[in-house]
């Protein structure tokens, strides 16, 4: 008789490690509808200059090509909603980047969960968190964590969308798989209405090339002329669609200490940002995701933002 992964035990361990939610789905190719939508998104240039989105399309659309013998995708979510926020009249950075780089925090927790599975059930697998060709929100939906909202974010019922996602792809089948949740956005379009650049071109369609998160983090060129007005006080990333989402009224502060903002960040004022040296930048954002934009990119954003 084939050995099976006990999903309830794995979920309990995931919660013990600090994850906010955990679910399991069978490892298989995504549906043709999802595959066609993704290919059309690329064909329309919605990835901007993120050329890596075009790499390994076959693996992105079928996790069995990432892990030999893959049978199960375990999806986890980790809350990053901040208890303390930057003063509203000062420059803003996206909530997810307040603390330590989520890649490091998530990977450490995922590695521990994977070792638990390997040691107890002799299963093999790999951990992923935003650095491999995996459709993370799709698998979180398939694993029953929540639904993908009109702003393309995963929304967890009674919890909101401020979550990092990660996956374990395991070569054992599970004793029970979770069912996808129905979309509960209804007729609401607050996220689309709130998007400063209209990057949410339609429900469930984000044109990354227009998105402030892309422009202030991934994009390396000079910002389009009207971007500063649309940025407002945001100098790294954008949370406007999440601020507008009614489901985020249920958001509770993260209990992951690594995601808490430093005292140095909370005391930054506009004049401090404009005088920020490269050395101060390295100190302020040591171990932070903000390093993604690099010093030159962040200073470009600061010069463009509303004074």
Residues annotated as part of the active site: 130
Which two three-digit tokens encode residue 268? 């930054």
Q: Would you say 61 and 9 are in contact if contact means Cβ atoms under 8 Å apart?
A: no
Q: Which residues contact 34 (CB under 8 A, 6 or more apart)?
A: 61, 135, 138
Q: Residue 187, exposed/middle/buried by CB under 10 A (0-12, 13-18, 19+)?
A: exposed
Q: Would you say 305 and 235 are in contact if contact means Cβ atoms under 8 Å apart?
A: yes
Q: What is the 3-state secondary structure (H, E, C) of 71-137?
A: CEEEEEEEECCCCCCCCCCCCEECHHHCCCCHHHHHHHHHHHHHHHHHHHHCCCEEEECCCCCCCHH
């Amino acid at each position: 008789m084939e050995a099976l992964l006990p999903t309830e035990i794995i979920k309990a361990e995931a919660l013990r490690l600090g994850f906010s939610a955990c679910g399991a789905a069978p490892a298989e190719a995504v549906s043709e509808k999802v595959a066609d939508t993704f290919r059309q998104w690329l064909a329309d240039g919605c990835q901007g200059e993120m050329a890596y989105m075009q790499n390994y399309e076959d693996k992105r659309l079928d996790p069995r090509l990432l892990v030999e013998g893959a049978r199960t995708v375990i999806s986890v979510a980790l809350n990053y909603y901040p208890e303390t926020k930057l003063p509203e009249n000062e420059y803003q950075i996206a909530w997810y980047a307040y603390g330590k780089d989520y890649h490091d925090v998530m990977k450490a927790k995922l590695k521990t969960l994977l070792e638990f599975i390997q040691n107890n059930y002799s299963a093999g697998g790999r951990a992923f968190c935003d650095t491999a060709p995996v459709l993370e929100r799709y698998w979180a939906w398939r694993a029953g964590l929540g639904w993908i909202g009109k702003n393309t974010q995963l929304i967890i019922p009674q919890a909101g969308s401020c979550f990092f996602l990660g996956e374990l792809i395991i070569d054992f089948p599970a004793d029970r798989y979770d069912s996808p949740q129905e979309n509960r956005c209804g007729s609401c379009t607050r996220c689309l209405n709130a998007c400063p650049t209209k990057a949410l071109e339609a429900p469930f369609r984000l044109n990354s090339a227009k998105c402030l998160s892309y422009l202030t983090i991934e994009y390396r060129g000079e910002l389009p002329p009207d971007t500063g007005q649309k940025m407002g006080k945001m100098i790294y990333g954008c949370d406007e669609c999440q601020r507008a989402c009614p489901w985020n009224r249920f958001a509770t502060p993260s209990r992951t200490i690594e995601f808490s903002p430093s005292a140095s960040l909370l005391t930054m004022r506009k004049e401090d940002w404009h005088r920020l040296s490269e050395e101060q930048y390295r100190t302020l954002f040591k171990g932070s995701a903000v390093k993604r934009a690099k010093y030159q990119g962040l200073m470009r954003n600061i010069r463009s933002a509303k004074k």
